[in-house]
Amino acid sequence: MPAVMKPKLLVVELWGMGDLVLSTPFLRAAAGSFEVTLLAKSMARELQPRLWPGVEVISSSLPWTAFKGKYNLVRWPWRELAALTSQLRSRRFDLAVSARWDPRDHFFLRLTGARRRAGFPRLLSGLFLTEQLALPGPGAHRYDHWRVLGRQLGIQLPARNQMAPVARESGTVLIHSGAAQAIRVWPLERYQTLAAQLRQNRYSVQIACDPDQRPWWVSHGENVRVPASLAELMALIDTAGIFVGNDSGPGHLAAILGVPTFTVFGNNLPSLFAPLHPAAEWMEGGPCPYKPCFDSCRFATPECILRTDASQVWPKLASFAEKHLGRTS
């Protein structure tokens, strides 16, 4: 008998690493029923072999996903956009989806020519969709959008607290002090304080950071690791028993790889963006009437994260470390 052809599914997730990693359970499950193609930034090619081996990746950085200058239409790569649209239309997708409440995504889904287009309409963007989905509710976690999409496709995804944990044998605390946006970076000297307290309690600590943070750590005597690629970052995460860091991509990556995470939040809400690990814990940022502000801070400095002192974080982190690594002193 000839093999049964799976329907062709296009998944659009054009934003940062954290958003992309949160789509992992959906992509893995969808690959069982669909021939899945993911349209995402180039980082997806590095993540694909480890996270979604059954998914094809087409990489593109569409101009409206830039952090600054996204609507400078004169500088948009119109020729490349036309070529990408033509490429996608030629694939004749049966279904295209986006989990974002974003009219730009929905207009792009329409351009792909997919027969069915499912998403969460906003500002009349339902005109571009064939299947309009209701948002999971105010205060819903970002992952819950993928769960709603999954149900529309006949895929049942587990709730966050029902995800199976992965046993860890390492006793190392991995602290990653970086983040894509400066507003999400907790001060390095406070991470240094936590590292010193962990070491005083006989925990093994490895510091990792972004390239621009390396001089500070080196000047403070730290043997810091700066992963040169996502493959190196994932290899480093594999050596960790727990992960400590900012509300950022590395933390989400650690969680999906099975490492319990402790996150220092600032401008975001844990209820919306906590990493996908059933044992994830966090320190919520200080109060602000504009939270979550999605990195567009109205103030000169992000007080929401700066109000959190190491002395406030340490009791929670100490309990978290003992829970997952045991008492060492």
Domain ranges of the chain: 8-160, 172-325
pLDDT band at 278; cut points 50, 70, 90: very high
* Whole-number Å distance between alpha carbons of 57 and 23: 13
Distance in Å from the first CA to the final CA of the chain: 64
Residue 122 is predicted with a pLDDT of 94
Span 135-151, pLDDT tens digits: 998 889 999 999 999 99
8-160 matches 172-325 in fold: yes
Please tell me the pTM assigned to this model: 0.94
**Average pLDDT over every residue of 23-40:** 97
Residue 66 is predicted with a pLDDT of 64
Q: Which residues contact 274 (CB under 8 A, 6 or more apart)?
A: 141, 160, 263, 280, 282
- Domain 172-325 matching CATH 3.40.50.2000: the answer reads yes
Q: For residue 290, give Cα distances in angstroms to 46, 184, 266, 294, 302.
A: 35, 15, 12, 9, 11
Q: Is pLDDT above 60 for 1?
A: no
Q: Is pLDDT above 80 for 260?
A: yes
Residues 60, 61, 66: CA angle, nearest 5 degrees: 170
* Whole-number Å distance between alpha carbons of 208 and 179: 11
| Residue-averaged pLDDT of the chain | 93
- In the beta sheet, which residues pair with residue 10? 37, 96
8-160: CATH number: 3.40.50.2000
**Average pLDDT over every residue of 284-306:** 89
Span 48-101, pLDDT tens digits: 999 999 999 999 887 767 656 566 666 777 788 889 999 999 999 999 999 999
Q: Which residues contact 207 (CB under 8 A, 6 or more apart)?
A: 175, 176, 177, 191, 195, 217, 222, 223, 224, 225
Could you tell me what percent of the chain has a pLDDT over 90? 81
Residue 297 is predicted with a pLDDT of 87
Residue 241: closest CA among 209, 203, 272, 208: 203
SS3 state of residue 57: strand
Could you tell me what percent of the chain has a pLDDT over 70? 95
Residue 199 is predicted with a pLDDT of 97
Exposed e or buried b per residue across 184-214, where buried means at least 16 C-beta atoms within 10 angstroms of its C-beta? bbbebebbbbbbebbeeeebbbbbbbbeebb
